[in-house]
Structure 1
Amino acid sequence: MLKNYLKIALRNLRKQRGFAFINILGLAMGLACCLLITLYVVDELSYDRFHEKANRIYRINSDIKFGGNDMHMAVSPDPMGPTLLKDYPQVENFVRLHGRGTWLVKQTGKANSLRESDILFADSTLFDVFTLPLVHGNPKRALVEPNTVVISESAARRHFGNQNPMGKTLLFDNRLTFRVTGVMRDMPTNSHFRTDFFLCMRSDNYEWGRWLSNNHQTYILLKDGVDPKQFSKNFETIIQKYVGPQAFQFIGTTMNEFRKAGNRIDYSFIPLTDIHLHSKQNIELAPNSDIQYVYAFSAVAVFILLIACINFMNLSTARSANRAKEVGVRKVLGSVQHQLVGQFMTESILLTVLSMVLALVIVQLAIPFFNDISTKQLTISNLFVPQFLPILLLLPLVVGLLAGSYPAFFLSSFRPISVLKGKINLGLKSAGLRSGLVVFQFMMSVILIVGAMVVYRQINFIQTTKVGFNRDQVLTINEAYALGNQTQTFKEEVLKLPGVLNGSVSGYLPVPSNRSDSPLFPEGEINQSGAVSTQQWGVDYDYIPTLGMELVKGRNFSREFGSDSTGVILNETAVKVFGFKNPIGKRVMQMQDNEGKKYKAYTVIGVVKNFHFESLRQNIGSVALFMDPNRGAVSFRLSNQDIPALVKQIEGKWEQMAPGMPFSYSFLEDSFDAMYRAEQRVGQIVLTFSVLAILIACLGLFGLAAFMAEQRTKEIGVRKVLGASTSSIVGLLSKDFLRLVLIAILIATPIAWYGMNQWLQDFAYKIDVPWWVFVLAGLVAILIAFATVSFQSIKAALTNPVKSLKAE
């Protein structure tokens, strides 16, 4: 029986090649989109699950409201981990990580350094908590001794070639020597943090024991059976026992008084496997994604697959007239309904199997482009892993059953006597269902078009909005500390080059980085009510003009004023939080020690206009600029002349003063844009799949239009004989479809408006969704639908009426 089903199915596919082509291509595109998005979603959901103890590992977050700032951070105080392990038997172990950014690294005795990023300090318990296999070294001892380092296999090849690196030393920033005590396998890409270097935490030059400083990512490994929600209630005891006394010493107030004033300090757990998609904290070790994108892309995959299935159902039911007599004859000869259903379902599944084969070819061709816009490293081989194979095998079967179920039962239900007498018009019988499915297709297409347009408008708003400084053509040279004491000389030499307008030495730039806030106090108010949590940046005399910032009051730092070493420039937010009506000349106090016993007074000499130094998702916080150049970076403002040639000249100056050191630079505009790469990727992906969704929908519309034109062949002939014009016939055949598209637009508009407004809530600075976005999306859908339908309509309208009237 199955052999007979397949033989007849293949015969029908050969007989209706155009119908088969449209169905196979539409389904293949839908399946390919579904597979690509499924690969993306599975990868996103797999983050950090490679750790054997992942279900028991939790990171401690800090939520602090103090001094006018409400901070949500992925870090906690350095004593938190050791204290929890000491005080609570429910804790099996802990590990702290401390990011120290990018360093220049070379093998001791070598001339040239390599720029290595995302270097981390880690406790010796690292390998007890996380699953990071070592190929060389003892995980129990690897990070116990100071000045030891564990490197990845990739780092070992970069610095030691084919040599065994164990016991050899690496020089960091030409000043710190670390001995290699372990080589680990490269960390998987699906980790919320990645590094090639773990340095012993005991080597970190840090003031330990500070409960009021939050600088370490702290991970806790709970014992089996411990309820994390119940255990997290112990944080209140930690606050009262340890944080409270330091807070009292620091600002002279108890924790109860601190909270009554509207301030708070809270700690919480987040499961390790939730960090990548669910954490919205600041000071992450690496940028995270968002579970909303996973939901959105999953929905897009389902919608595109549904659109492809709808095409199949629409075309199959529409073409039923051509199979009606076949069904009638089969029933007269004794075929029962379940045999007919089996025949049509076999045809449907055969079609989906062929579509799946074509879909895999499309995925293989499209995956490099998809990886480029999603920044993933997916391969088609990911589809053939054991956990994915069942999906790959079941998907065509499920899609075949879903897409073919209605046509099968619809066709098999025809009454043979009525069919053979030609008393029913089977092709139009299910027009209501087909209309509803067309509306659904174009409704989803319009929603995707609106989504892509709003994402791009928000990104454009971010890129063009005034951020309080001029980010154009500012060249930043990283790791300027490689210059040693020649930093200022380097700056002066570069400023002599034609085309270099200004320059500044400072590691503090208005782009996100691992900075933390510290309190400043108005003179005479060293208490919690006077404290203002403030970003405190060390800059030089040329910082403000180099970055094109605007002073709204007072003056900039000047070499003419020797007292500027005790001067400070505040931004408008800081002035507002301090409550200064006339800030120039006011004095603020900066804490000089960890115990809150020594303070230094600074006089406000200027007020700088607010500038964005974090993402536009956040409001502008308080910033204080001090005369204290940090040698981490040197920035230069360049003119509009030949930038590449100018950069080459600056590189020449660098090589003269820092031989063997890599010349690493970036443009401030690129660093600013990097904050929104996630949104840019989302916009590109949504736009791509919007185009594909519309294309698949149009394939179905094309087939339906061809069928409807065929059904009305004689009507068209009669109308032409009676004098109807080509345009009137095109309008007649097109208006029904365009009416359905209009209905889809009306339904899609409120849904798209609500969804995009929800997405925009993540931004403190955002666009209003304009009405014309919906109009434009609707016009695009109408024009595409009209172009699709009118092709068949014009073809039918131009047919010789004599041939049309002879057609029977």
Structure 2
Amino acid sequence: MLKYKFLLLYRSILKERSYSFINITGLVIGMVSFLLIAQYVIHETSYEDHIEDQDRIYRIGLDYSASGEEVFRSAENYPGAASFIKRNLPEIKEYVRLFDVGRKSNVVVSYQDEKGNLEEYKQKESFFADPSFLSVFSVKMALGDPETALNEPHSILISEDQASRYFGNGNPIGKVLRMQNDEYGDDFLLKVTGVFKKPKSSSHLKYDILISYSTLYSRGSYASDFFQNSWQRKHVHTYVQLNQGVDEDVFKSNLASLMKTHDHDLPQDHKRSFVVQSIKDIHLHSDLADENEANGNARSVYIFIVIGIAILLMAWINYINLATARSLTRAKEVGVQKVMGGQRRQLVGQFMMESFVFNGFAIALSVGILFYLSPFLSGFMGLEIGAFPVKQTIFWLLIAVLWIVGSVLSGWYPALILSSYKAVDVLKGKLSTSDRTASLRKSLVVFQFAASSVLITGTIIISDQINFMLSENLGFNPEQLLIVERAAGLPGEEEELKNSIDRFKRNLESLPGISLVSTAQSIPGKKMKRLFSLSEQGSVPGREITAQISGADYDFIQTLEMNLIAGRGLSRDISPSNEGVIITRSMAEKMGYKEPQDALDKIININGDDFAKPVVGVIEDYHHESLKKNTIPTMYWLNRYDGEYFFVKVKANAGLDTTVAGIEQKWTEAFPGNPFDYFFLEDYFNQQYLNDVRFKKLFNLFAWLSIFVGCLGLFNLSAYTVNQRIREVCMRKVLGAGTPHILLLLFRQFFGLIAIAVIIAVPFTIHILNGWLNGFAYRINIDAWAFILSTAAIFIVSTAAMSFQTIRAVKANPIDILKN
């Protein structure tokens, strides 16, 4: 019996190749899209899964406000907070402090062997870490003892990749590496005490180098207090591991109460509190200052889940619609089987088997496509989803569920319809499609069009928002600005350092391809390190301004082409000790001055610091960070020699290769022994939108795939609709109806369904897109033209899909049709 059913299915597939091809193609596209999105979702939600006790590990950040205004909400904390929490809360099993030296400064690690061969590299993924880091974060060691590897000062652990990089196939244990960084002028000799297996990329902490935390405070009492006991400046990421059985809510409550006992030394109207985050929530649910990396976005993940389900449903809807529309052509087959004694349950089983075969074949093809294309698609879309997850049980379980659920959903209703036909009615030719079946088919088509409308409108709005951010005036000009980070290994003597910096700038300005050179402590595209409460001298107590501040040299404003709206820039004609500050328009307004010039000559104090400087200039607000965030009041003060970045303005007509080669030569002369590296500010700034650009590309891809899936179904559905009405079409032609009239007659019902779908989609689209756009401080509005364009696109694509079948019917010879 089973062999007979498979034979019937095989003959049916051969007889109606077009139907089978479209069904399989639609299902494959839907399943590949769904499984690709599932790979992405599994990757995004599996962060920190390699850590054994992830559910008991929390990051303790810091929230600080002054006069009711947020000063910062940071992922970092005071160095002294960790031990304070451990001493006072018995719930804590262990704590970990991480000082992200690779992100905070320019780090160069080098090794020189006995023959004098030098290997030196910049190391961005470098941390000073407490010894407990290895056990708390489940670090797997390839060489060395995890119990002691980070116990002693000047100990360093490196990843297997870095071990090969520096030492080749040799044993690195006991070898000495030299680490230099520009932030504190560190120049450490570090002994390799272990090699670790680099953890999975699905972690918010990515590291190639771990240095013992005790190295930081091995340089004297000041360093010890600064990095071990200080509550003055946030410097470190702090993690705690709870004991077994500790209730999270109780822990958070006790921690909040504990902070209040340490607030007695705060100025009036200043408040601070701990920000407690499970490490499982950091990647998708955290957007604090001082994150280790740009985190993901839970909203984007949810949107892709909905898109994946929508495309899959559209593929199954195609199957249902085509199967029910095709039911009339298979009615005689059902009638004959019933006359021969076939029971309804047997017929249901036969048609369900067809559904399982179609879905199973589509899944097999989809898995094969994903197996070979996952790395390509991952790279093309800029997504870190890795290769096909052959070893992940959850993925194969998902495929099994997909096959069973898909087969039942797409096969059950057509099977019931086909098996319900009465043999007598079928054989007498009295069979017609019921109103209920037709209504269901129309409802499913409306769902497809509505989903397509949402996705196409979303594509338009998302693209416009991304383009708006990439093209909006930033308040400075990032074009042609080449950035060189400060040297890690700086000359030891202060005068020698100043001379090196001055010589480098002077030599660069002499190059024919360069117009201006400047230095600054901060760079647009990266949050400023310093955020302070400032006040105007003589103002009412408690009237403070939260502002970010940075040092810069004389030419910074001109080099970045910022808009000076009042006063002057920093001047060489005034003694550096007497020079004032430059503020932004928003800071002047925070001080209470509507007109920028009114803020000139006002004295700015930094509370708790010996700093009092007059305002000498006001610049227009600019975007120091992405347009996702509001501009922050900003102040620049003169600092010629502490700049972390050199800003080099390259002339538009300069040969880039020649200019860069010249810069490298001058760098080597001024800072020998420091590797040269550079990047362009425009590219660096736009990296903030990398996740948004990826989101746009993915959304566009799946939106048009959904349209294609819908059109596949519409193509075949229109064929069956035309076949049902072919006699009517021929009669109308005989009676004199023109081609446009007949086309309109055949298209009319589909156009009505499109109109209904758009009406349903509009409010849903507005709700979803407004939720997404609200994540941006600067956003576009949702205009009517986006819906008009998406509707027009659906009409055009749908008309094209239906035209092939309908035009063929219109051109058919009425005599040939009517005589049959």
Change in Cα spacing, 1:107 to 1:738, as seen in structure 2 (3 Å) is: same
Identify the residue that residue 273 of structure 1 maps to in structure 2: 280
Identify the residue that residue 15 of structure 2 maps to in structure 1: 15
- Find out whether 1:118 has 2:125 as its counterpart: yes
Tell me by how many angstroms 1:427 deviates: 8.3
Identify the residue that residue 674 of structure 1 maps to in structure 2: 687
1:566–1:602: 8 Å Cα contact kept in structure 2?
yes
- Find out whether 1:444 has 2:444 as its counterpart: no
- Find out whether 1:422 has 2:429 as its counterpart: yes
Q: Which residue identity is paired with 1:73? A: S
Change in Cα spacing, 1:44 to 1:491, as seen in structure 2 (3 Å) is: same
1:319–1:427: 8 Å Cα contact kept in structure 2?
no
Select 1:180's aligned residue among 192, 207, 210.
192
Q: Which residue identity is paired with 2:107? A: W
Tell me by how many angstroms 1:180 deviates: 1.4
1:490–1:654: 8 Å Cα contact kept in structure 2?
yes
Matched-pair identity in %: 34
Tell me by how many angstroms 1:381 deviates: 3.3
Whole-angstrom CA distance in 2 between matches of 1:25 and 1:384: 27
Q: Which residue identity is paired with 1:628? A: N
Secondary structure of 1:106's match?
Answer: strand
Structure 2: segments with no counterpart, 5+ residues: 182-186, 218-222, 492-496
1:481–1:632: 8 Å Cα contact kept in structure 2?
no
Identify the residue that residue 107 of structure 2 maps to in structure 1: 103
Identify the residue that residue 588 of structure 1 maps to in structure 2: 604
2:549–2:636: 8 Å Cα contact kept in structure 1?
yes
Tell me by how many angstroms 1:452 deviates: 1.6
Q: Which residue identity is paired with 1:521? A: S
> Which runs of structure 2 are paired with 1:774-789 in the superposition (5 Å)?
774-789=787-802
2:528–2:549: 8 Å Cα contact kept in structure 1?
no
Whole-angstrom CA distance in 2 between matches of 1:563 and 1:193: 41
Select 2:252's aligned residue among 232, 235, 239.
232
Q: Which residue identity is paired with 2:681? A: L
Question: Which sits farther off after the overlay, 470-479 or 70-79?
Answer: 70-79
Q: Which residue identity is paired with 1:42? A: I
Whole-angstrom CA distance in 2 between matches of 1:365 and 1:774: 37
Identify the residue that residue 192 of structure 1 maps to in structure 2: 204
> Which runs of structure 2 are paired with 1:203-352 in the superposition (5 Å)?
203-204=215-216, 207-208=226-227, 209-242=229-262, 244-247=263-266, 251=267, 253=268, 258=269, 263-352=270-359
Change in Cα spacing, 1:685 to 1:369, as seen in structure 2 (3 Å) is: farther
1:114–1:662: 8 Å Cα contact kept in structure 2?
yes
- Find out whether 1:749 has 2:762 as its counterpart: yes
Q: Which residue identity is paired with 1:186? A: K
Tell me by how many angstroms 1:411 deviates: 0.5
Secondary structure of 1:149's match?
Answer: strand
Identify the residue that residue 79 of structure 1 maps to in structure 2: 80
2:26–2:709: 8 Å Cα contact kept in structure 1?
yes
Identify the residue that residue 65 of structure 2 maps to in structure 1: 65
- Find out whether 1:412 has 2:424 as its counterpart: no
Q: Which residue identity is paired with 1:229? A: D
Tell me by how many angstroms 1:481 deviates: 4.4
Identify the residue that residue 37 of structure 2 maps to in structure 1: 37
TM score, norm. by length of structure 1: 0.94
Tell me by how many angstroms 1:702 deviates: 0.2
Tell me by how many angstroms 1:317 deviates: 0.4
1:93–1:220: 8 Å Cα contact kept in structure 2?
yes
Secondary structure of 1:224's match?
Answer: coil
- Find out whether 1:471 has 2:478 as its counterpart: yes
Whole-angstrom CA distance in 1 between matches of 2:533 and 2:173: 44
Change in Cα spacing, 1:34 to 1:40, as seen in structure 2 (3 Å) is: same
Whole-angstrom CA distance in 1 between matches of 2:690 and 2:37: 19
Question: Which sits farther off after the overlay, 419-428 or 30-39?
Answer: 419-428
Identify the residue that residue 519 of structure 2 maps to in structure 1: 505
Change in Cα spacing, 1:482 to 1:490, as seen in structure 2 (3 Å) is: farther
TM score, norm. by length of structure 2: 0.92
Structure 1: segments with no counterpart, 5+ residues: none
Whole-angstrom CA distance in 1 between matches of 2:551 and 2:501: 15
Change in Cα spacing, 1:525 to 1:155, as seen in structure 2 (3 Å) is: farther
Whole-angstrom CA distance in 2 between matches of 1:344 and 1:222: 56
1:151–1:197: 8 Å Cα contact kept in structure 2?
yes
Whole-angstrom CA distance in 1 between matches of 2:668 and 2:701: 44
Select 1:699's aligned residue among 704, 707, 712.
712
Q: Which residue identity is paired with 1:178? A: L
Q: Which residue identity is paired with 1:184? A: F
Whole-angstrom CA distance in 1 between matches of 2:678 and 2:108: 13
Identify the residue that residue 3 of structure 2 maps to in structure 1: 3
Identify the residue that residue 397 of structure 2 maps to in structure 1: 390
2:487–2:674: 8 Å Cα contact kept in structure 1?
no
Question: Which sits farther off after the overlay, 780-789 or 55-64?
Answer: 55-64
Question: Which sits farther off after the overlay, 719-728 or 143-152?
Answer: 719-728
Select 1:487's aligned residue among 473, 479, 501.
501
Whole-angstrom CA distance in 2 between matches of 1:482 and 1:103: 9
Per-residue CA distance 1:676-722 (angstroms, 9 max, x = gap): 11111111100000010000000000000111111222222222222
Whole-angstrom CA distance in 1 between matches of 2:80 and 2:671: 39
- Find out whether 1:602 has 2:618 as its counterpart: no
Secondary structure of 2:48's match?
Answer: coil
2:488–2:674: 8 Å Cα contact kept in structure 1?
no
Tell me by how many angstroms 1:483 deviates: 6.4
* Alignment RMSD: 2.1
Q: Which residue identity is paired with 1:198? A: L
1:566–1:601: 8 Å Cα contact kept in structure 2?
no
Whole-angstrom CA distance in 1 between matches of 2:329 and 2:71: 69
Change in Cα spacing, 1:53 to 1:119, as seen in structure 2 (3 Å) is: same
Question: Which sits farther off after the overlay, 480-489 or 607-616?
Answer: 480-489
Tell me by how many angstroms 1:365 deviates: 5.0
Change in Cα spacing, 1:93 to 1:176, as seen in structure 2 (3 Å) is: same
Whole-angstrom CA distance in 2 between matches of 1:802 and 1:178: 94
Tell me by how many angstroms 1:525 deviates: 6.2
Whole-angstrom CA distance in 1 between matches of 2:211 and 2:486: 19
Secondary structure of 1:319's match?
Answer: helix
Secondary structure of 1:517's match?
Answer: strand
1:511–1:613: 8 Å Cα contact kept in structure 2?
yes
Tell me by how many angstroms 1:246 deviates: 2.7
Whole-angstrom CA distance in 1 between matches of 2:488 and 2:390: 47
Secondary structure of 2:547's match?
Answer: strand
Tell me by how many angstroms 1:440 deviates: 0.3
Q: Which residue identity is paired with 2:726? A: T
2:355–2:410: 8 Å Cα contact kept in structure 1?
yes
Secondary structure of 2:613's match?
Answer: strand
Change in Cα spacing, 1:232 to 1:378, as seen in structure 2 (3 Å) is: closer
Whole-angstrom CA distance in 2 between matches of 1:603 and 1:658: 35
1:120–1:195: 8 Å Cα contact kept in structure 2?
yes
Whole-angstrom CA distance in 2 between matches of 1:383 and 1:734: 46
Q: Which residue identity is paired with 1:84? A: I
Per-residue CA distance 1:501-559 (angstroms, 9 max, x = gap): 111122311222462412333335696x1443322211111111111112222211111
Per-residue CA distance 1:655-678 (angstroms, 9 max, x = gap): 444455432111111111111111
- Find out whether 1:729 has 2:754 as its counterpart: no
Secondary structure of 1:180's match?
Answer: strand
Q: Which residue identity is paired with 1:709? A: V
Whole-angstrom CA distance in 2 between matches of 1:83 and 1:664: 41
Tell me by how many angstroms 1:482 deviates: 4.6
2:593–2:599: 8 Å Cα contact kept in structure 1?
yes
Whole-angstrom CA distance in 1 between matches of 2:578 and 2:688: 33
Per-residue CA distance 1:71-99 (angstroms, 9 max, x = gap): 32212222111111111111000101121
Change in Cα spacing, 1:430 to 1:236, as seen in structure 2 (3 Å) is: closer
> Which runs of structure 2 are paired with 1:161-176 in the superposition (5 Å)?
161-173=168-180, 175-176=187-188
